[in-house]
Amino acid sequence: MSPHSLIPNKPSQVTSVQGGLCALTATEAVARLRAGEVTAAELVEASIARIEDVDSKVNALPIKCFERALDMARSLRLADHLDNHKSLCGLPIAVKDYNNVGGVRTTYGSPIFAQSVAAQSDATVRQLESNGAIPVAKSNVPEWAGGNTFNPVFGATRNPWDLRMSVGGSSGGSAAALASGSVWLATGNDLGGSLRTPAAFNGVVGLRPGPGRVPRGTRLPAMDTLWVEGPMARCVDDLALMLDAGVGYQADDPLSFDQSHISFVEQLSEGDTPARVAFSPDLGIVPMEPEIAQTCGAAMGHFTGMGTEVTADVPDFTGVLGAFQSLRAVLFATLMAPILEQNRAQIAPEIIGNIERGLKIDPAQIFAAERVRIALYQKMLTFFESHDFLICPAASIPPFPVEQRFVTEIDGKPCATYIDWFAITFALTMTACPVVSVPCGFTATGLPVGVQIVGKPRGEAALLRAARQFEQSLGLAAMLPINPHSGRGVISGR
C-alpha cells in the first residue's frame, strides 16, 4: 500500500501554482538568495505581484507595506548576512496584525485602532528583521481574538481551498496568505489555538513553541505563558527555517533567552523515527465530528508505516477546559479592561463577555485553575516517560461558512461559549509543551484536515523532526501553494 492511498478525498482538481518565485519553498528561496541567484528586491516584487493577483479574492493581507519592503530589500547588503546561519537574507514575510511593524498600521481588527501606526517593530518582528526578514504586508485577524478571521475594519478572510469557507483564527490571514502563495513565511501567535486551527483549515503548518522561545512585545503581560508567538509556513522545513530566525533574547520579553547556538534546521535530519506515540480523537474531553476523527485516525497509519507504535494511552485532561477558560478571561481583563472602560461601543460583544468574565473571577477560581494546570504538566512529564509524542486532531470540525461568526454545535452537541469549538487546541495550551499543526488529509468536500503533535517541554527540535517525517510520508506539502477557488472542482488562477 502506498502512503498516498491512506489519504482519502485528496483533491485532484486543485490548481497548484506552477513555476515562478512564489512557487518556491522558503528554504529554496533563501538558498537562492544566499547563492546570489535572486535578489531580495526580486522576491519582494514577486510577492507584491502575487498579492495583487489573488488577495482581492482571499483578503488575507489588507495592510500593505510594499514601499517599506522594497526600501529594505534594496538597502540589504547580502554580505552582512552570509555568515549568519539564521538569516533569511531578505525573504519577504507576512506579519500578523496583532504585531507591530515600525511605521505600519496595527489595528488588531478593531475600529478603535483602525488608523494607529506603530512607532517601531515589536520584539517578535524586530528579531525576525534582524535576521533578514522583510515584512511585505500585515495579515488579517479577528477583532482582538477569535476563531474566525473577520473584523469591522477589513472584513472577512476567505479560505483559498474554498472561498466560501472560513480560514479559522486568529492567524487566519497568515495561513491563507501562505496557502495562496502570497508569501513564503508568516508570523502567528497562539493563546487557545490561534495558529494551530488556521494551519489545519488552510493546509499549512504552524508551531506553537514553548514559552520564551520566540520573544513577545510589551503589549502582553510580561510573565504570561499562555500566549506565545510562533512561525507559520507551507512545510516543516520552512517552519524550522523561520523558527531559527525568530528565536532569541529581546529585552522587551523577560521570558526570552539566547538561542544563538541552536539550529532547528540542522536538527531536522538528526535522530530516528519516534518509537511510540499516543493518538486520541478527542482527548477524552471534547466533541468531535466523526469525519475529522476518522481522517486523523487513518493518518496514524503513516506512523505505523514508519515503524512507530501507536497507542491510545493519553493523559487525563479532566478539568482542563474550565481552567483554561478562567485563565484566558483573566488575561483578557488584564489586557483590555482599560480599553473597555473607554470604548465599549466599539468592541465586539464576544470580547466584552471575555473581559467581563475575567473581572468577575474570584481568587479561588484562579487558584483552582492554576492547580489544574500544574497537575496537567506533571501528567505530561509522566506520559513522556513512555511516549515520544501525543497526537490529536487540530480542530473538531472542518472549515465552516465564512459568514458564520462562530460554531454553535459539534456533532449535534451545543457549544456553551463561542470558543468551545476549538477546545481541542486550548486543552493543549495548558500543557506548556510545544505543539505543531500538520496537514493529514481532506474531508469529502476537499477541505484540509490537520493533526496536532505535542512534544516534550523544550523539545521543539525533536517535534519538528517527527512532523517532517510524517509530512514527507503524506506528501501533501507539494500541493502548495494553490490558486484560490470557490468549491471543489471550481478553479480560478493565473
Does the structure show a pLDDT above 60 at 417?
Answer: yes
Residues 316, 116: Cα–Cα separation, whole Å? 44
What pLDDT, on the 0 to 100 scale, is given for residue 16?
A: 81
What pLDDT, on the 0 to 100 scale, is given for residue 11?
A: 82
pLDDT tens digits along 210-243? 999 999 999 999 999 999 999 999 999 999 999 9
Which of 393, 371, 405, 374 is closest to 439 using CA atoms? Answer: 393
Q: Calculate mean pLDDT across residues 264-268.
A: 97
Q: What is the mean pLDDT of the chain?
A: 95
96 tagged catalytic: yes
Does the structure show a pLDDT above 50 at 314?
Answer: yes
Spell out the residues 6+ positions from residue 186 whose beta carbon is closer than 8 angstroms to its own.
93, 94, 95, 96, 139, 171, 174, 175, 177, 178, 231, 232, 233
Confidence of residue 490 (pLDDT cuts 50, 70, 90): very low
Q: Supply angle C-alpha 149, 350, 409, rounded to 5.
A: 75
Give the amino acid at 316: D
Q: How far is CA 203 from the centre of its chain?
A: 11
Q: Calculate mean pLDDT across residues 10-38.
A: 90
- At 383, list the grid cell: 506520559
Q: Calculate mean pLDDT across residues 349-367.
A: 94
Residues 22, 33: Cα–Cα separation, whole Å? 14
Q: How many CA atoms lie within 13 A of 471 on its CB side?
A: 29
What pLDDT, on the 0 to 100 scale, is given for residue 489?
A: 44
What pLDDT, on the 0 to 100 scale, is given for residue 494?
A: 28
Distances (CA, A) of 55 to 29, 77, 178, 366, 478: 21, 30, 11, 43, 22
What pLDDT, on the 0 to 100 scale, is given for residue 18?
A: 78
Determine phi and psi for 158, rounding to 5 degrees: -110, 150
Does the structure show a pLDDT above 80 at 1?
Answer: no
170 tagged catalytic: yes
Which of these is catalytic: 47, 139, 170, 473? 170
Which of these is catalytic: 86, 96, 138, 456? 96
Confidence of residue 418 (pLDDT cuts 50, 70, 90): confident
Spell out the residues 6+ positions from residue 305 whose beta carbon is closer than 8 angstroms to its own.
3, 6, 473
What pLDDT, on the 0 to 100 scale, is given for residue 13?
A: 60
pLDDT tens digits along 76-115? 999 999 999 999 999 999 999 999 999 999 999 999 999 9
On whether the 3-479 domain is CATH 1.10.3720.10, my answer is no
Which of these is catalytic: 110, 182, 194, 473? 194
Partners of residue 277 on adjacent β-strands:
310, 389
Q: Calculate mean pLDDT across residues 169-198.
A: 98
> In a 3-state reduction of DSSP, which class is residue 411?
coil
Confidence of residue 6 (pLDDT cuts 50, 70, 90): low
Q: Calculate mean pLDDT across residues 166-178.
A: 98
What pLDDT, on the 0 to 100 scale, is given for residue 325?
A: 96
Model confidence, pTM: 0.96
Residues 277, 309: Cα–Cα separation, whole Å? 6
Q: How far is CA 284 from the centre of its chain?
A: 24
Does the structure show a pLDDT above 70 at 4?
Answer: no
Determine phi and psi for 95, rounding to 5 degrees: -120, 130
473 tagged catalytic: no
Confidence of residue 270 (pLDDT cuts 50, 70, 90): confident
pLDDT tens digits along 436-459? 999 999 999 999 999 999 999 999
Strands 185-190 and 91-96: parallel
